Chain A
Amino acid sequence: MTERMWNNHEMRSSYDVVIIGGGAHGLATAYYLAKNHGITNIAVIEQKFIGYGGSGRNTAILRSNYRTEEGILFYDQSLKLYEDLAQELDYNLMFSQQGHFTLGHSTASMQALTTRAAYNRALGVNSTILDPPEIKKMLPEIDISNHPRYPIMGALYHPPGGIIRHDAVVWSYARGADQRGVHIHQLTEVQDILVENGEVRGVKTNRGTIHCKQVVSCVAGWSSEICKMVGIKLPLVTHPLQALVTTDYKPWLHHVVVSSTLHIYLSQTDRGELVCGNGIDHYPHYGMRSTLGFLESYAAHLLELFPILHNVTVQRQWAGLCDMTPDYSPIISMVDDVDGFYINCGWGTWGFKGSPASGWNTAQMVAERKTPDMIAAFRHDRYVKNRLVGEKAAASVGN
C-alpha cells in the first residue's frame, strides 16, 4: 500500500477558514496559515481532486523578470520561497534553476526587454540582455540566421529562472498542510456562500453546509462564478491555454526558452520530454479541449527556432483554464462589502510561479484581516480606480 500523502477526514460543521480550490494557491494559503500564523482549523474544498485545474496543467516555468516594481518584488519573493521549498517541505520538487531566455524578434521587443532588464537589476533581480552569438553559445541548436520569418535579434536572459515538478509542489503543500491539521475535502462542490449583514457566515456544498467566518476563493478560471455568489463582478475573462509534451529526447535543452512573437515556450524535463506551451486560445471558453490547430501552429513555430526537432514526436496534449485580467497582474484582495471574503485569482498564464508568494501573502491577509504591503497593488477594484499594474509586456507570449 502506498503511503497516503494526506488524510481523508469527516467534514466538520464549522471551520475557522474555508479555502475554496485545492490547487497550488489554495493549498499554499492553507499551509502558510497553519505554519506562519498557527491557524489550523481550516478546510480546503476542491470540486474535483487536488491539482485538477491549472496547477496540474501548466508548464511549470518559474521566473521573476517582470516589468513593474510591484510585479518584480512579488515574483522575486515567490522565486525565493521556491528555492527553499524542497527542504522546508521535505519533498524532492526537482527545481532546476537552469536560466530563462526571452527571445526578441523585433526592435520594439528588444526595447521592451532592455527596459525589463534595467528594472530587474535596479530591484536586485538578475537579468541581462544577450546578443545572438551569445545566445548561440548557450543554445547551440537555435537558428540565429536571418532565414526564419522572425530572425532573433537578442534575448533577455534571467539566470535564476527555471522549471519545477508542478505535481510535487501541489502534493507537498497538501501534505504539509495536512500534517499541520488542515482538512482537505476533494469532490466537494461549492453551491453557495452564505453572507449575513455583510459578513461571511459559511459555505453551502454538495456535502452539506460548513459554518465559518472567513472564506478564501482560490479557483482561478472559475472565479467569476464563485464571486457572483457574493455579488462581486470581476474583471476576468476565462480562456483555455494549450500545452503539449513530446516523447523522450536526448538531454539537449538546458534552459527555458520563450518567444513571445512565435507564441511558444519550451523546456526539457529530467526524463527527456519537451514540455511546450502556447498562447491562450483567442476566445473565452470553459472547456478543456485541445485542438489540432494549436498542434499545427506550434510545430511550425518550434521548427523555426530549432530545426533539429523535426523528428521529435508528440506524446500528449492538453488544455487548462486561465483567468485573464486586463493588466496581466493577479488579484489578491479583501472585499469592502463582504467582511471575511477574500479573492485570490487573476492568475492567467502566470499563476504557478506566483503560488508560494500568493499563499504567503493571502495567509497573512486572512490572519491579520488587513492587506500586506507586498500585495497592496493587487486589489480587485484597482481597475475601476485606474490603478492598473501593467505586466502585459512581461507576459511570456503575446496573447
Chain B
Amino acid sequence: MKRIGVFVCHCGTNIANTVHCDQVAEVAKDFPGVVYSCDYKYMCAEPGQQLIQDAVREHNLDGYVVAACSPRMHEPTFRKCAERAGLNPYMIEQVNIREQCSWVHADKEKGTEKSIDLLRMAVAKARKNEPLSSSTIPVTKRALVIGAGIAGIQTAIDIADNGFQVTLLDREHSIGGRMAQVDKTFPTLDCSACILTPKMVEAAQHPNIEMVTYAEVTAVDGFVGNFDVTIRKKARYVDFDKCTGCGACQEKCPKKVSSEFEMGLGPRKAIYVPFPQAVPNKPVIDAEHCRYLLDGKCGVCKKICPTEAVDYEQKDEVIVERYGSIVVATGFDQFDISKYEEYGAGRYPDVITGLHLERLMNASGPTAGKIKRPSDGKVPEKIVFIKCVGSRDEAKGRPYCSKACCMYVAKHATLIKEKMPQSKSYIFYMDVRTGGKSYEEFYKRTQEQYDGQYIRGRVSKIFQVGDKLIVRGEDSLIGRPVEIEADLVVLAAGMEPRADAVALARTLGISYDQHGWYTEAHPKLQPIETHTAGIYLAGVCQGPKDIPESVAQASAAAVKATGLLSKGELTSEAMIAECNEAVCAGCGLCISVCPYKAIEKKKVSERVHGQMKERVVAVVNPGLCQGCGACTVNCPSSAMNINGFTNEQILAEVDALCQR
C-alpha cells in the first residue's frame, strides 16, 4: 500500500479563516494510506516546501497531497518540491481548499467538512498515482503570422530580426491592413502611410520573411512546435515573376468596380492594385468582375501586357506548411452602421463613417484629399460627429468600448478645422476617454484650439431636409433638445470582430468571447497567449486597440513566438492518453474524435487458443497528444485512459466521496 503524506496549508488566513486546517490535517491521519499529516501556514513558502521534503524522506512517502490553493497556481511548485524530495512529480495531488472552500463558504464548519471530503478524494486518487514521465518533441523553427496589418507586420519583422523564418500571410493582395486606409494618426498627426510604408517594404524585403498574400488558412493540424497549416493561395491570374508592375493593364481594363480600399467612395478596375503604396505592388484580377473570366470576352489586359504576365488559367493553390508557432493578427471589421436606421445610415449618402472620412481626407484618396460630400461633392461646412456608434450600445449587441474612437474623432475634428478653417464640427458624445500618452492634451486642443464643439448627449434622429441633414438630439448637460443642420454626419463606428473570426478560431482551435474577439489565456498575466499552446495574439483581433497598443502587443507576441522557437525541443505533456491494448477492441472511435490526430491504428499479434492472431488496436502518439480526454470519453471499452486521470483514479475519488 502506498504511503501517502498530507500537507494542509493555511494560506496565511486565506484558508485558515474559514477552514479548521488543524482539524483537516488530523482527520486525514485516518484516511487509508495516510502515514503522515500536518498543517502549516504557508506550504508554498520555502520553509513549507522544506517541511514537505523532510517528511517525504523521514516517513518514506510514496506520494503526497497538498490541500492548499488552486493547482493552477501552485501545482508546479509542489511538483518541483516532490522532485527535490526524490519523488516522481506526478505522485502528488493538490486539492484546492481555498477557491473551493474558504473563499466560497462563510460557515467554517461546513468549509472544514468540504475540505475533508475533497482531501479524502485526493488521497484516494493519490494512492492510485503512478510515476509519469514526459517525452520531448522537436520544434519546427518557423513562425506563421496570420494577418498583415500593422500588428502582423511588426510581429513578423521582430521574429525575423531575431533570426527565425516567418511567413506573413494576408488574405488581401496587399499587406498593410486597416492602418493603410488611415490618413493620419493621433496624437502626433503623422501621416499614416509615411510611417507604415517603410515597415511594409521592410517586411517584403526581409530575408527571413516570406510574404504570402491573397491567401487563407483553411486547416490547422498538429500542435505546439509542429503545426501543419493548410494554406489556400487564391489565383491572381497574374504571374508575379513576369509582371513588372508597369500598370498598363490597370489603365486599359474596361471594367470599373467600386474600390473596397476606398470604402466604396472611388472606383478601381477589375485588374488592379488596391492602393498606390501596395506591397506587393503588382496587380491581380478580380475574378468576380473580370469580363474575360466571367464570359470569355475582353482579354484586354492579356493583350496589352508587355511581359505576358496575365494568365487566365491560374488556379487556386493549396499548400501545407509546418510551423512551430502561430501569431494571429487578423484585425477587425468596422461596425455596419446601417443597423442605426434612426441615423439614416445607408440611406443618406452623407452619413458616413470615420473610415470613409479617412479616405476623403487622404491625398491619394478618391477626392485627392479634398473633403467633399459623397452625395453632391459639395464641401461641407457643418459637420456632426456621433460617437459610440456600434460600441457601448447593448441594444445593438455591442456593449464594449471601441477604445480608439474618442481619439480619432478628436483627430478628425482637428484635421477638418485645419483643412477648412470656415467649417464647424459638433461632436455628440457619451464620455470622452483619453487614456493614453498625450491623448488628453490632444483632446483639449481639439476643443480649445480647433473649435470642436462637444455636446454630451445621444442623437435620437437624423433626417434630410433639402440638402441638409437635420441632426436632432439632446444635450444632456443642459437638458435641452438640440438640432443641428449638418452638411455631413460622421459616425464613429466601432470595431467588431472579423465576420469570419469564429470560423478561424475553430480552425485554429483557440477560444473566443461572446462577440468573437479571441480570448487570451489570462486577462492580466497572459494577455498574449491563447489557451492553445504555441498560438499567440496580436492587435485588434483580441479586442479594440489603437495603433501603439497593437504594435506593443505585436512585439510581445513576437517575443513569445521566438521564445518557443528558440527551444530545440519541447517537453510533451506527461498526462496524456494511453491505450490499454489488451482491452482495446480496435473500433477506431478515438481516432475520429482526436482533435490533434494523435491516435493511429496499429496491428498487434497475440496468441489466442494456441494460434497467433493479428488484431488492430489504437496507439497514441505521445508527441501529438495534449491530454484533452476526448478519446477517453468516447472509448466504449474504457481502453483509453489519461495518465494521471485514469478511469480508476476518478472512480477512486467518487468512491472516497461516497464512503464518508
Q: Do A and B come from one complex?
A: no
Chain B interface residues (CB < 8 Å from chain A) = none
